[in-house]
Structure 1
C-alpha cells in the first residue's frame, strides 16, 4: 500500500481545469446501465427487429436467449448498439467514466502502480475492450502522460462497430484513418492527443503480442447468455417463442418457453453439481476469458475486469433498461438495452485451469476505489475549490461511484496476472484486492 500511497501523493498534485473535471455530473436518481451505442442514419421502422425475430421464430422455431440478445443488440440494421446513443440523462443509462474523470484517473493510478512493481516492462500496450465513447481510455492516457509513462506505448481498442470507432477517434485522436489495406489485423489507426499510436480491432485475438495492460469495463455484462431453469424433470433451457395469439398483424409479442428436450448448450455448459433454480452462462465470455489468460501468460501483462456481477450466486439477472427504468426484455426488441450480471466465479475457474494465471477478486467498486485512494484525490480537489456548486457536484459524483445503494456495491472488480509474478505479488500485494 505504501507504494501506491507515495504515488497518490504525487498524483493529487495534478492540476486540471475544474470545469472539465465535473462536466460529467448526473442526476443521482437514474438507474445505471452500461456499454456503448452508435448513432446511425437508418430508415425509421420501430418494428424492424420485432418483424425479423417474428419471421425467424415462425420459420425455425423458438430461439435461445443468446440468439435473441445477439439480434437485438448487434443486428447491423437495427441493433440497439448500432443505431442509438444511449448515454447520459437523456438516454437509457450512464457509465462510471461519464460521471467523473476521477474514475478513470484512479484506474490509471492502479495500473501505473502495479506496472511499476514489476519493472515497467516495454514496449507497453494499453488494451480496452468495448471502449464506449473512448472516455475512459482518454482519462487513463492523461494520467500516464502526466507521469511520463507513454514512451514506447500504444493504445489498442477492441470495438466491433466502425461507426462507434469514429466517435472514439474524435475523443482520443488528433487524426485517424481506415487501415491502408485489408490484410491489416486492425481496421482503423490514428494518433492520440498525447502522440501515441492507436489501433482498432474487431476481436481481441487480432491485437499484436506484447506486454499488455488490459481493461474490460462494463463489457461482459452485455455478452449473450444461455438461460437454464430447474424443473421437477431436471434443468431445461429457456427459449424465446411467439405469443400464441397476436392482437393484429402489426403486433409482435414474444414469450419465454422451456425446451422440451435437452439442448446442445444444456449438455455442454451446465455442470452436474449445479443447484440454483435459474442459471445464466455466457460461452462467448468464457472464450474471451481464456484468450485474456493466454495473452498475459504468453506475453506478460495485467488484466482488470470491472462489471455488474456476482461470485457464482446470481440467478435470474437477465433484464432490460430504457430511459433509466427496468422494462420487459421481450417488449419492443431493439428499443432497450439488454444485460445480465457477470459470473466472476467463471473467470476464477478458467484462470485456475490455466496453471500459469493468478486470479484475485471480486471486490466491490466501493472497496476497490477506497483502497486505491479515491478519497485523497477528492479531498485534494476540494481544497482547490471555492464555488459551492462545484464542491457539491464533486461530492455527488464521489457518492455515486462509491455509495452502496448506487455503484459502490453493484460493480465488482477482479484482476488476472501471470504466476511468474508471484514472488513480487507476495512481497507487494496487489492494491485493492489484498
Structure 2
C-alpha cells in the first residue's frame, strides 16, 4: 500500500476578510495581463533557453493527453488557469491576508514539504520560544509556517485539511472478556527475552473505565483520545471563527475492531517486530470523531472515496479525457488510474472523506438536532451530495 510522504501533516489555510474582498475585485483578467505582448509569426523569436514553467508543463501534458489545442484555448489557459494565475498574483497575494499553516512533528517530513512548496531547503528558526519552528514563502508567494501543535496556529477564518493524519495518532486497544473489558498491553515475551507480545491487563485500567462506552457492542475496540481532543479543538475553532475542515483517511464508522497494523517499505509488517523501523497506523473511527464534536459543528460523512469522487464528477471527467485522446497508451493509463481510485477492492472503499462545517453553512438547517447526522441532511457541499448538472 503506497503512502504519501507528507502523511502526518495538518494544513490550515487562513483566509481573512480582506482576501475575500480583494478576490471579488480581481476575479477577471487584470488589464496588465491583457496588454502583455506575445510572440507571433512576425515577432522576434524568444531565446531557445527559456525556462520550463509550470504552465508549460501543464500545457504539454494537456496536449499529450488530448491532442493539439486552439490558439483560443492556449490564451485561455495562459491567462486564467490557476497554475499561472497564482504565479502572476504573487505580488498581490503578498499583500493579502492569506497564509498557509502546517502542523508537522516530523523534521524529515517538514523538509520534504518545504522543498515541495517553496522549492528550497529552509533552516529552522533559531528562537526556540517561538511556536513557529520553520517558515518560508511558497512558489506562489504565499507565506508558510510550520508548527508542532494545532493550538499554536493563529486563530481566524480557516480551512483545515487533514490528510492521513488521524490514522497515525496513538490508540488504546480493549478486549471484552468474561470479567469485563480489559485493556490490551504490550509486554516482553517470557519465551523470547528480545521479543514483545500482546497481553491483557489483569484488571480494569483507568483507560478502560473512561473510554469504553456503555452501549458498545463490539468485542474489540480501538480508541484514539488524541483524535478526540484534536477534533474538539477543530470544532471549537470552526464554531467561533468559521471555515471548514476536510479529513481524508483510512477508517470506518464504528463497525471495525482490530485495525492496528504496520507498514515497512509499503508492505505489511509485524507491529511488534523491530519497533521504530516501520510505520504504525490504525483506521480512524469516524463515529467517535462525530461524537467528540459534541454538536458544535455539522458533520458530513464519512463517505467512501468511490462515492466522494463520483459526486465530484470523476466519471464525466474520465469520459472527456478519453474522448479527446486517441493515444492508446494514454487511454490505458487513465483507465488504470481510475480503477485504482474507484475500485472497491483497491482504494475505492478504503479511503474516506469526513467534513466539519458551521451549522449555518448547510441548506435546510431549521432543525439543529439533526445537523450532526449527515444522512438526514440535504446539502450543497461539493463531494457530499449527488452531482447535479445545471
Q: Same fold judged by TM-score > 0.5?
A: yes
1:346 corresponds to 2:288:
yes
1:317 corresponds to 2:262:
no
Contact 1:220 1:285 in 2 (8 A): yes
Deviates more, 1:169-178 or 1:220-229: 169-178
Q: Deviations over 1:318-344 (max 9, x none)?
A: 112234432321122223221111000
Q: Deviations over 1:32-62 (max 9, x none)?
A: 456648xxxxxxxxxxxxxxxxxxxxxxxxx
Among 119, 129, 138, the residue aligned to 1:192: 138
* Alpha-carbon separation, structure 2, partners of 1:380 and 1:146: 28
SS of the residue 2:348 aligns to:
helix
Structure 1: give runs of 5+ residues left out of the alignment. Answer: 1-30, 38-80, 82-110, 125-138
SS of the residue 1:235 aligns to:
strand
* Alpha-carbon separation, structure 2, partners of 1:378 and 1:147: 30
Contact 2:301 2:354 in 1 (8 A): yes
Contact 1:174 1:191 in 2 (8 A): no
Deviates more, 1:393-402 or 1:379-388: 379-388
The answer for the alignment partner of 1:407 in structure 2 is: 347
Contact 2:87 2:139 in 1 (8 A): no
Question: Which structure shows the higher helix fraction?
Answer: 1
Contact 2:184 2:201 in 1 (8 A): yes
Q: Deviations over 1:136-189 (max 9, x none)?
A: xxx9x8598499796542111110122321211111104544336334321111
Q: Deviations over 1:102-143 (max 9, x none)?
A: xxxxxxxxx9xxx9xx9985799xxxxxxxxxxxxxx9x859
Q: What aligned pairs does 1:169-188 form with structure 2 within 5 A after superposition? A: 169-175=114-120, 176-179=122-125, 181-188=127-134
The answer for the alignment partner of 1:216 in structure 2 is: 162
Return closer, same or farther for 1:289/1:147 CA change in 2, 3 Å cut-off: farther
Calculate the aligned-residue CA RMSD, in Å: 3.2
Structure 2: give runs of 5+ residues left out of the alignment. Answer: 24-57, 59-81, 366-376, 386-390
CA deviation after TM superposition for structure 1 residue 268, in Å: 1.2
Return closer, same or farther for 1:343/1:427 CA change in 2, 3 Å cut-off: closer
The answer for the alignment partner of 1:158 in structure 2 is: 103
1:268 corresponds to 2:268:
no
* Alpha-carbon separation, structure 2, partners of 1:348 and 1:418: 14
SS of the residue 1:420 aligns to:
helix
* Alpha-carbon separation, structure 2, partners of 1:423 and 1:268: 37
* Alpha-carbon separation, structure 2, partners of 1:286 and 1:347: 6
SS of the residue 1:193 aligns to:
coil
Return closer, same or farther for 1:357/1:123 CA change in 2, 3 Å cut-off: farther
CA deviation after TM superposition for structure 1 residue 384, in Å: 5.0
1:358 corresponds to 2:298:
yes
CA deviation after TM superposition for structure 1 residue 390, in Å: 2.9
Q: What aligned pairs does 1:323-338 form with structure 2 within 5 A after superposition? A: 323-338=265-280
* Alpha-carbon separation, structure 1, partners of 2:201 and 2:171: 16
* Alpha-carbon separation, structure 1, partners of 2:88 and 2:318: 19
SS of the residue 2:298 aligns to:
strand
Contact 1:123 1:211 in 2 (8 A): no
CA deviation after TM superposition for structure 1 residue 262, in Å: 1.1
Count of aligned positions: 306
The answer for the alignment partner of 1:429 in structure 2 is: 380
* Alpha-carbon separation, structure 2, partners of 1:295 and 1:318: 30
* Alpha-carbon separation, structure 2, partners of 1:162 and 1:33: 18
Q: What aligned pairs does 1:299-318 form with structure 2 within 5 A after superposition? A: 299-318=241-260
Among 409, 418, 426, the residue aligned to 2:358: 418
The answer for the alignment partner of 2:178 in structure 1 is: 232
Return closer, same or farther for 1:169/1:277 CA change in 2, 3 Å cut-off: same
The answer for the alignment partner of 2:332 in structure 1 is: 392
SS of the residue 1:378 aligns to:
helix
Among 178, 189, 198, the residue aligned to 1:256: 198
Return closer, same or farther for 1:123/1:245 CA change in 2, 3 Å cut-off: farther
